[in-house]
Amino acid sequence: MLTRSILIITMSCFLLASCASNQVSKDKSRALRAARANTQLGIEYLRTGDYELSRKRLAKAIQQAPDYAGAHDAIAVLYERVNKMGMAEKHYKKSLRLDSKNSAARNNYAQFLCKTDRSNEAVTEFETSADNPFYRTPWVPLTNAGVCMVRVPDKDKAVEYFERALQLQPEYAPALLQMGLLNYTKGKYLSVRAYLQRFQQVAPHTAESLWLAIRTEYSLSDHQAWGNYAIKLKNAFPKSEQYVLLQEWENERRSGH
């Protein structure tokens, strides 16, 4: 009887421990789902510019699931946006410690490093992000690495990164535009036109691409083309910095300066 009693007690303890373990697992699962939902809301508020609501949602997500890497990455982007760089770096690093294979998060951190004038560190992170065989869009960090090299400036290295990006994805609009911009600085206007034509085939014009097209066609003496681009810039982006530059440029031309 004693042996049987011990067995029953042991089994009861095992079942209780198992039930407790299952409950903890369920609680963690619910907390993670809630954290993911709050992270998505926080990202949406970030996109619409409501930074305070974004911060509240993301802070709540981290409270619910402190080890959820996605929440740390998102709040790092928010802190960077409002120029709290110390907090941004803290959460970028935390996110990558929790999920070192997240190349999108590493790309975000690399852009942060470039913005804070740590280009060597940034390039290392961009390369690591692009080298991840499971990352579906490695041309994104490669293009961002090129943009970082333009900032240095190291235009030759920038070209290498943009070309690598375009080898992987020939229709990646940001890399096409960046190659156009670099060729313009070198006076290679026909090359600029070619890159802009490829850009226009895969993406709608931006204020930046239209301003580049205006200057390029003017340099190639195609007055009808640059005039058409100027009208498009005025109509589509009347409040843009590029339209202000166009007005200043046209005033200078009229005054003969």
Is this structure's pTM higher than 0.95? no
Pair of tokens at residue 65 = 């699931």
CA-based nearest residue to 179, from 218, 208, 146, 222? 146
Q: What is the mean pLDDT of the chain?
A: 90
Statement: residue 12 has pLDDT above 70: no
pLDDT, position 236:
95
Q: What is the pLDDT of residues 215-231, one digit of tens each?
A: 999 999 999 999 999 99
Statement: residue 11 has pLDDT above 70: no
Fold of the domain built from segment(s) 104-169: 1.25.40
DSSP 3-state of 145: helix
Mean pLDDT of 41-70: 94
pLDDT range class, residue 73, cuts 50, 70, 90: very high
Instruction: Please report, rounded to a whole number, the percentage of residues in the chain having pLDDT higher than 90.
Output: 82
Pair of tokens at residue 183 = 């060729």
Pair of tokens at residue 113 = 């490093």
Distances 166 to 160, 170, 172, 198 between C-alpha atoms, Å:
10, 4, 7, 11
Mean pLDDT of 13-27: 56
CATH code of 37-100, in short, is 1.25.40.10
Q: What is the pLDDT of residues 139-157, one digit of tens each?
A: 999 999 999 999 998 999 9
Distance CA 96, CA 243 (A): 40
pLDDT, position 62:
94
List the chain domain ranges. Answer: 37-100, 104-169, 176-257
Q: Do domains 37-100 and 176-257 have the same CATH topology?
A: yes
Q: What is the pLDDT of residues 105-148, one digit of tens each?
A: 999 999 999 999 999 999 999 999 999 999 999 999 999 999 99
CATH code of 176-257, in short, is 1.25.40.10
